[in-house]
Structure 1
Amino acid sequence: MEKTFTVTNEDGFHARPATALVNTAKKFNADVSLAYNGKTVSMKSFLGVVKLGIQKGAVITFIAEGEQAAEAIEGLSETMTKEGLGE
């Protein structure tokens, strides 16, 4: 299962929103990844997410597999909206 977003936050993925997304991903029994610009990292790795250098206008995709894949994607979608990160 996957869902794509366009990052709308002026600051992109800086520490606070990256932390919120990683913490959300860790709540679910699923393998959750973030794909951006030809690279894929675990959504459970703060450093991996931040190192991607995601800026405003970036198109990102969350990919989830496992028992709670749908719930993980829904949770990440809610966090993206709550943090004002993208649509």
Structure 2
Amino acid sequence: MPEIKVKIASPVGLHARPAGQFVKAAAKHGGPVSIARPGADPVDARSMLSVLGLAIGHGEEVVISAEGEGADATLAELSRLVSTVED
């Protein structure tokens, strides 16, 4: 399963609006998508409650993985979402 490590750029971390955008993008992928802190158990990246439950803050590193067709494109999109700050 392809995976990528990225740092969270949002000043509020992966909470509320950034988490919503992340979950929405992950849900578009046809296969399983997960997110985790390095070395921790992954959670379903398509679940808002699971993502918010991680309480990931600004500057923290996460591991995102995706499985199935289009996994690399999904990882690129999700990485871009969490590693950039929107104005």
Shorter chain as normaliser: what TM range? 0.7 to 0.9
Q: Does 1:68 align with 2:86?
A: no
Match of 2:12 in 1: 11
Q: Which residue of 1 aligns with 2:53?
A: 51
Structure 1 residues 50, 73: CA separation in 2 closer, same or farther (over 3 Å shift)? same
Aligned partner letter, 1:51? G
- Counterpart check, 1:77 vs 2:65: no
- Rounded to whole Å, the distance in 2 between the matches of 1:29 and 1:80 is 20
Per the TM alignment, residue 10 of structure 1 is displaced from its structure 2 partner at its CA by: 2.0
Answer 1 or 2: which has greater strand percent.
1
Shift of 1:40: 0.9
Letter in 2 for 1:70: D
Does structure 1 conserve the Cα–Cα contact (< 8 Å) formed by 2:33 and 2:66? yes
- Structure 1 runs (4+) greater than 6 angstroms displaced: none
Q: 1:42 aligns with which of 29, 40, 44?
A: 44
Give 1:57 deviation, angstroms. Answer: 2.2
* Aligned-residue identity in percent: 32
Classify the secondary structure of the residue corresponding to 2:9. coil
Q: Name structure 1 gaps, 5 residues minimum.
A: none
